[in-house]
Amino acid sequence: MTDIADRYRRHADDFESKVAAVRPEQWDNPSPCARWSARDVVGHIVVMHGVMLRPLDRRPSRAPSVEKDPLAAFRAARADVETVLDDPGLAAAPCETPSGPLTAEQHIDRVVSDDLVLHGWDLARATGQDETMPADDVERMWRGTSAIPAEVMEKFRTPGAFGPGVEVFGAEVPVPEDAPLQDRLLGLIGRDPR
Q: What distance in Å separates the CA atoms of residue 102 and residue 91, rounded to the nearest whole number?
A: 10
Confidence of residue 2 (pLDDT cuts 50, 70, 90): confident
> How would you write 6-48 as a 3-class SS string?
HHHHHHHHHHHHHHHHCCHHHCCCECCCCCCEHHHHHHHHHHH
pLDDT digits (tens, 9 = 90+) for 100-150: 899 999 999 999 999 999 999 999 999 999 999 999 999 999 999 999 888
Q: Residue 165: what pLDDT? A: 64
Q: Residue 171: what pLDDT? A: 87
Average pLDDT, the chain: 93
- 59 conformational bin, left if phi > 0, alpha if psi -120 to 50, beta if neither: beta
pTM for this model (two decimals): 0.92
